[in-house]
Structure 1
Amino acid sequence: MTSPDQPAQPAPADSSLANRYGAKKRRLSPKGARAVIAVALAVGIGFLAWVTTSNSLSGVTYKDVGYSTTDATLAEVDFQVTREPANPVKCAVKALDSKFAVVGWKVVDIPPTAGNGTPDGGRTVAQRVTLRTESASVSGVVDSCWIPGAES
């Protein structure tokens, strides 16, 4: 004779899932979560400070002020350079035609200055450069500035 089927006792869900997938992961305590957030925030602020100051520590910035074309063979470019007064600087200045082709190019030497009697201590100097051009120019700009011997 057969006996009626007895329902099997199912294993508790937690233990069967734990056997299959591993034990439940422990959550980070609130104190630990705050510590992780504080460290991430400090690292982020430090990175932003480094990015902000690393550009200003490069030593040279420039700003185009204006240009004028006197005739088809000459152009004048006005610009300002900011750097430490004791540093000499070289700037590449170019004149462009209506198709943005370079029609004049010159590297200008800017010597160190004493820096006395100016509001910013001689850090900013204004320059006017005359460029000879191959054809009529419609624009004049500074391409780049650098401290001689500091190029990498």
Structure 2
Amino acid sequence: MSSLTNRYGSPKRRLAKKTRRNLIVGGLSVGVIGALYLTWATQSGVDFKDQSFVVSSPTQASAVVDISKNADQTAQCEVRAMNESYAIVGWKTLTVGPSEGKGRETTRFDVNLRTESLATTVGIEECKIVKAS
């Protein structure tokens, strides 16, 4: 046996069971905390839904959208009109300020857009909270 030890070195020691268990528990804890943080950090606090849209002419389009947010928050929503190639031909930033109500509320908006060419679809691209009271 001593000739094998001289040739290949001594066998490697394994981690103790307690150390192995602590490393696994620590790794799982970091993973769960990371997942919770990402879930919390990516929630914008505002929901939106496209209801309908109308293309009136090659230079005019409009959309009816619902925006839900807490009454004390200010949200900015980007409304876009796109052509059949999915190129943006019209864009408007809609700012929805705080209101007198309390809690979460949904408001419907009719948004008119000027377009560079004929649009085939109109709707909200994204919404985010920009200020909370």
TM-score interval (norm. to shorter): 0.7 to 0.9
Q: Which runs of 5+ in 1 are unaligned?
A: 1-11
Q: Relative to 1, partners in 2 of residues 1:90 and 1:20: Cα closer, same or farther, differing over 3 Å?
A: same
* Segment drifting more, 26-35 vs 90-99: 26-35
Q: Aligned residues, how many?
A: 132
* Segment drifting more, 29-38 vs 136-145: 29-38
TM-score by length of 1: 0.70
2:106 and 2:7 map into 1 onto residues whose CA distance is 71
**Pairing 1:129–2:116 present:** no
2:42 and 2:18 map into 1 onto residues whose CA distance is 37
The aligned amino acid for 2:66 is Q
1:82 aligns to what?
68
Please point out which of 87, 91, 101 is paired with 1:105.
91
Q: Which runs of 5+ in 2 are unaligned?
A: none
1:86 and 1:42 map into 2 onto residues whose CA distance is 35
2:121 aligns to what?
139
Please point out which of 63, 78, 84 is paired with 2:49.
63
1:62 and 1:16 map into 2 onto residues whose CA distance is 74
RMSD over equivalenced CA pairs, Å:
2.5
Contact between 1:113 and 1:122, CA under 8 Å: does it hold in 2? no
2:65 and 2:9 map into 1 onto residues whose CA distance is 68
TM-score by length of 2: 0.78
Contact between 2:73 and 2:131, CA under 8 Å: does it hold in 1? no
**Pairing 1:33–2:15 present:** no
Higher relative contact order, structure no. (Cα contacts within 8 Å, ≥ 6 residues apart): 2
